[in-house]
Structure 1
Amino acid sequence: MAKNSYVGELLAEFLGTMILILFGVGVVAQVVTTPTGGLGDHDSIAWAWGIGVTLGVYVAARLSGAHLNPAVTIALAAFKGFAWRKVLPYSLAQTAGAFVAAAIVRFVYADLIFKVDPDHTIKTQGIFSTLPGNGADGVTITTAFFDQIVGTAILVFVIFALTTAMNNPPMANLGPVVVGLLVVGIGMAWGANAGYAINPARDFGPRLLTLVTGYQDALFDQNGTLYFWLPIVAPIIGGLIGGALFKYTIESYLPVDPEPVTVSEPDKTA
């Protein structure tokens, strides 16, 4: 069996996404469950998510390209030639990795979660999945929907810019670091309305975990509105918009990669 097998690709997506969620959901758990201990704030959350993305990409990049996000996978299939037959398996592997990572966080933080929220309510549901207004009133479903479209469009547009060879991307294997910084920036600029899921697997995997571990309202928002679909549908739309914007604006004006120069073998008969 070839080393870079299809199974290896799926394992890379699973494990890379798991690393991403261990850092991301883990830091939110730390902040939410230690409100009087001062063990973190919004900035630490944004940075830990970005670090998680960087490390997850380093884990998976060689084998699978480190999509770690169904919205990215779908955009790559639509605009970059990624095989459509791999979209569903990649997405399932990403979601499974997020689910397992959330289960680890749920287990390790169980005591602290019970201490601050013994009934497992909306108060700590936001550790694992996103909510409009991060659980506070005042943000409508419509606003949250368009927020996720914009945030994911930014994500995919810049990822395409960073990974297109003719666009002078980061060199010396620094691409994952810059992608991580991109996520930090999105978290700091676009986190208020809907928690910047920008990734269907990142939200649905942990949300499903909470549903089976005591959070009866995991599929709903703080107002009782069915919400689980929004961080799935809106990021996919946003990813397609971001991918299309890059392809038909920046990429369409980039120079064409020149034909490789063929070097003849030396004449061994001389």
Structure 2
Amino acid sequence: MASATLNARSAAPNASRELVGELLGEFVGTMILILFGAGVVAQVVAANLGDHDSIAWAWGFGVMLGVYVAARLSGAHLNPAVTLSLAIFRGFSWRKVAPYALAQTLGAFVAALLVRWNYTELLAKFDPGHTIKTQTVFSTLPGNGVYPVSEWGALRDQIIGTAILVLVIMALTDVRNTAPKANLGALITGLLVVAIGMAWGADAGYAINPARDFGPRLASFITGYRHAWRDQYGDIYFWVPIVGPLIGGPVGAAIYQFLIARFLPTEETEPGRVVVDDQ
């Protein structure tokens, strides 16, 4: 009995330490993602260095590098929509969903503060009133604040875009499918985000990640962007890149699970195919 009690006590600190490591991985990994993502938008918008393609590539590289930083510790979800989808369909612990989402949001928030601080002079010169002109450095808007897209159109876009993201991530991480080797998974995931940015960026700025949008939006609000919670039409908008991805992620995961995963081989005995778990 004494031995069992001692083992239980030693296991609890180990579990707590493991969770702390996972949360730090999500925090730092998401911070890296936003440092590159928000940083490139600040450079393009306020300094006119680069264009849409450089934005898409930098966001993709940010995702790739964030995954490489955090993958061993936490699995590098870097996105509450991914975390939720993995809890529903891949057995990820439900008790970790809220802590992961909080760590991801805090990482995005801190990164956005760093970008805001670093580009203080450029943002003030280009947009002294800190208006909608530079709000897209930190958070998304319907039609990127330019094109005639409503918040409902943006919601549709976020559901579809995040469904694509999570569907493909489910395939990339399924060892029964043609998943890339573990050290290439981050690269392919980054390229996935580049592709989404190039094909699905016009309607809502491809947030496809509640933490990526809410954390920087909060950072911009407390540093002078008084209308950060609204869109260019004056409507409350911040909920769209939160609700849309949280719907779209599980939808994409469900599509993969029911149309692809359940038909994949479960044994290594299928002729001509070998399933290798190298994760």
Where does structure 1 differ by over 6 angstroms across 4 or more consecutive aligned residues?
A: none
Structure 2 SS opposite 1:174: helix
In the alignment, residue 82 of structure 1 is paired with which amino acid? F
Structure 2 SS opposite 1:167: coil
Structure-1 residue corresponding to 2:33: 20
Structure-2 residue corresponding to 1:263: none
- Could you tell me how far 1:171 is from its partner in structure 2? 1.3
Structure-1 residue corresponding to 2:67: 57
Structure-1 residue corresponding to 2:134: 124
Q: State the alpha-carbon separation in 1 of the partners of residues 91 and 235 from structure 2.
A: 37
Q: State the alpha-carbon separation in 1 of the partners of residues 107 and 199 from structure 2.
A: 27
Is 1:166 the equivalent of 2:176?
yes
* Equivalent residue in structure 1 for 2:109, among 95, 99, 105: 99
Structure-1 residue corresponding to 2:263: 253
Is 1:29 the equivalent of 2:42?
yes
The one-character-per-residue Cα deviations of 1:222-267 (angstroms, maximum 9, x if unpaired) are 11000000000000100010000011111000111459xxxxxxxx
Q: TM-score, normalised by structure 2?
A: 0.90
Q: State the alpha-carbon separation in 2 of the partners of residues 66 and 150 from structure 1.
A: 22
Q: TM-score, normalised by structure 1?
A: 0.93
* Equivalent residue in structure 2 for 1:133, among 143, 150, 156: 143
Percent sequence identity over matched residues? 66
* Equivalent residue in structure 2 for 1:216, among 219, 223, 226: 226
Structure-1 residue corresponding to 2:22: 9
Gaps of 5+ in 2: 1-12, 270-279
- Could you tell me how far 1:140 is from its partner in structure 2? 1.3
Structure-2 residue corresponding to 1:75: 85
* Equivalent residue in structure 2 for 1:197, among 207, 213, 231: 207
Is 1:109 the equivalent of 2:119?
yes
The one-character-per-residue Cα deviations of 1:94-152 (angstroms, maximum 9, x if unpaired) are 00000000000000000000000111101111100000010114111121110000000
The one-character-per-residue Cα deviations of 1:68-105 (angstroms, maximum 9, x if unpaired) are 00000000000000011100000000000000000000
Structure-2 residue corresponding to 1:181: 191
Q: State the alpha-carbon separation in 2 of the partners of residues 15 and 56 from structure 1.
A: 8
Q: State the alpha-carbon separation in 2 of the partners of residues 255 and 91 from structure 1.
A: 33
Structure-2 residue corresponding to 1:267: none
In the alignment, residue 115 of structure 1 is paired with which amino acid? K
- Could you tell me how far 1:201 is from its partner in structure 2? 0.2
Structure 1 SS opposite 2:34: helix
**Contact 2:147-2:203 at 8 Å conserved across structures:** no
Structure-2 residue corresponding to 1:239: 249
Structure 1 SS opposite 2:190: helix
Structure-1 residue corresponding to 2:166: 156
In the alignment, residue 135 of structure 1 is paired with which amino acid? G
Q: State the alpha-carbon separation in 1 of the partners of residues 184 and 268 from structure 2.
A: 25
- Count of paired positions: 256
* Equivalent residue in structure 1 for 2:156, among 146, 150, 163: 146
Structure 2 SS opposite 1:118: coil
Structure 1 SS opposite 2:140: coil
Structure-2 residue corresponding to 1:88: 98
Cα RMSD for the two superposed structures: 1.3
- Could you tell me how far 1:217 is from its partner in structure 2? 0.2
In the alignment, residue 18 of structure 2 is paired with which amino acid? S
Q: State the alpha-carbon separation in 2 of the partners of residues 135 and 142 from structure 1.
A: 14
Structure-1 residue corresponding to 2:58: 48
Structure 1 SS opposite 2:195: helix
